Amino acid sequence: MSVPHLTTALRGPILELERRILEAMPTIEHWLRGKWQNYSIPFYCSVDLRNSGFKLAPVDTNLFPGGFNNLNPEFLPLCVQAMMAAVEKICPDAHSILLIPESHTRNIFYLQNVAVLRDIMRHAGMHVRIGSLMPEITSATTISLPDGNTLVLEPIQRKNNRLSVDNFDPCAVLLNNDLSSGIPDILKDLEQIVIPPLSAGWSTRRKSQHFFAYDSVAQEFAELIGIDPWLINPYFSSCGKIDFREKKGEECVAAAVDEILKDLQEKYAQYGVKEKPFVIVKADSGTYGMGIMTVKDSADVYKLNRKQRNKMTIIKEGLPVTRLLVQEGVYTFESINHAVAEPVIYMIDRYVVGGFYRVHTGRGADENLNAPGMHFVPLAFNTSCVLPNHTALPDAAVNRFYAYGVVARLALLAAALELERHLADISDPSLEALQS
């Protein structure tokens, strides 16, 4: 599979950005090494990027990545080495880990992800068993996967403050469950290490907090390599007390849309961008691409039909949407076989371990691609994101992927900063204002 084609020629801002990143590689890597010493790095992470041809920015960061099955299998050694580093750092004596996935068995693609994650940990020298939170799993249950693999789900047992499955007492618990519907009592107050921490789940985490943290990271990085921070940073705002079904909170959303569109008009004029700016309105927490819409005029916020309002009212597991992130829309001008595509970068600890393209034949360059009908192209990432070629052009595949890896690691750093602030009871007053 060839590298996805940018439908607009790589020129202007994005080519200059990639050139700056390539030239500053030693400075960037030195700066990042210093940052990793100051923060607790998330155990693993995936970042959705958008490359518009004039901008390269993260639009979502997931601390419970569920697509390891979409990575190029050739990069499995990278995953294993990174997993070794991650486990040693958090639990040096770790030899057994209980993996707790999402509570559904029908999504066979997700279960393939669980199997790959299990295999990565096994190759890293861990004993791994999979514990299910589903009440219907009352005994060891074997699930057959399309690739011939199998997955055994077992009921979790809790004794005092330790979790186990039959004849298996793990030293750590690894969550691949984003806790959207809240933190189950069985996971609270454990004496075992739980990774990621419970506070990283969507029951407490907010996307607006993440992008507030990313704002400061992007600003510092932009000063480091001498670029306009907007080239890697989407504008955003947030709104609380939202109920689209009851038409509550719409004024806040419309005002935020107006302000971001106004700022974008100025930036588009500055960089000679001819496209029409747009805004993405989405739930301030949660995954699976639910509760998202594209807006090109603030008046559209008031004109939603019943179906659109219902779509914006609930997210995963039927949870109500009460807070929204209003975010600058970033076009994706990459395509595979004439279908719109966006890169997703995967990291374990501080290491980029691969990526893939999310592709959707039924969506446009200004729409959310995380929706039914999407598919994934792992082999497009036929080179890793860590080996740039300084003798090649800035937009050569290896160099573009290096730029992707750098921006993804900026989002990872922002996630570390975000979680630290959260654990510090949000001592930053401006972040507290974001939450209110």
Give the range among 124-128, 156-160, 245-249, 391-395 with minimum mean pLDDT: 391-395
Mean pLDDT of 380-407: 77
Nearest to 407 by CA among 221, 281, 260: 221
Name the residue with tokens 């958008």: 50
**Residue matched to tokens 């949000």:** 426
The model's confidence at residue 8, banded by pLDDT at 50, 70 and 90, is very low
Of 59, 37, 128, 62, which Cα lies nearest the Cα of 347?
62
More confidently predicted of 321 and 39: 39
Average pLDDT, the chain: 87
Per residue in 206-224, pLDDT (tens digit) is 999 999 999 999 999 999 9
Confidence of residue 421 (pLDDT cuts 50, 70, 90): confident
Contact 85, 351 (CB under 8 A): yes
The better pLDDT of the pair 16, 185 is held by: 185
Neighbour-count burial for 204-235, b at 16+ CB within 10 Å, e otherwise = ebbbbbbbbbbbebbeebbeebebeebbbbbb
Give the whole-number percent of the chain exceeding pLDDT 90: 58
What would the two tokens of residue 211 be?
A: 């992008």
Q: For residue 72, which phi and psi values (nearest 5 degrees)?
A: -65, 120
Lowest-confidence region among 83-87, 136-140, 193-197, 336-340? 336-340
Report yes or no on whether pTM surpasses 0.75: yes
Is residue 350's pLDDT more than 80?
yes
pLDDT at 278 over 90: yes
State pLDDT tens for residues 16-73.
Answer: 888 899 999 999 999 999 999 999 999 999 999 999 888 999 999 999 999 999 998 8
Give every strand in the sheet of 193-195, ordered side by side: 141-144, 150-155, 127-132, 96-101, 172-176, 193-195
Is the Cβ–Cβ distance between 193 and 172 less than 8 Å?
yes
pLDDT for residue 368:
81
Q: Which residue has the higher pLDDT, 5 or 205?
A: 205
CA dist., res. 254 & res. 11, Å (int): 33
> For 172-193, what is the mean pLDDT?
94
Report residue 294 as tokens: 């594209």
In the chain, % of residues over pLDDT 70:
89
Burial class (CB in 10 A: 0-12, 13-18, 19+), 77: exposed
Contact status, residue 150 vs residue 142, Cβ threshold 8 Å: yes
| CA dihedral sign, ordered 115, 116, 118, 123 | positive
The upper half-sphere exposure of residue 100, i.e. CA atoms within 13 Å in the direction of its Cβ, equals 26
Q: What is the per-residue pLDDT for 11?
A: 41
Q: SS3 sequence, the chain?
A: CCCCEECCCCCHHHHHHHHHHHHCHHHHHHHHHHHHHHCCCCCEEEEEEEECCCCEEEEEEECCCCCHHHCCHHHHHHHHHHHHHHHHHHCCCCCEEEEEECCCCCCHHHHHHHHHHHHHHHHCCCEEEEEECCCCCCCCEEEECCCCCEEEEEECEEECCEEEECCECCCEEEEECCCCCCCCHHHCCCCCEEECCHHHCCCCCCHHHHHHHHHHHHHHHHHHHCCCHHHHCCCEEEECCCECCCCECHHHHHHHHHHHHHHHHHHHHHHCCCCCCCEEEEECCCCCCCCEEEECCHHHHHHCCHHHHHHCCECHHHCECCCEEEEECCCCCEEECCEEEEEEEEEECCEEEEEEEEEECCCCCCCCCCCCCEEEEHHHCCCCCCCCCCCCCCCCHHHHHHHHHHHHHHHHHHHHHHHHHHHCCCCCHHHHHHHC
| Rounded average pLDDT over 109-134 | 96
Q: Beta-carbon neighbour count of residue 64 at 10 Å? A: 23
Inter-residue contact 156 to 129 (CB < 8 Å) = no
Residue 76: is its pLDDT beyond 80?
yes
- Which residues, including other chains, have CB under 8 Å from residue 142's CB and lie 6 or more apart? 150, 151, 152
Is residue 255 scored above 60 in pLDDT?
yes
Backbone angles phi, psi at 363, to 5 degrees: -115, 160
- 264 and 239 in contact (C-beta within 8 Å)? no
Confidence of residue 1 (pLDDT cuts 50, 70, 90): very low
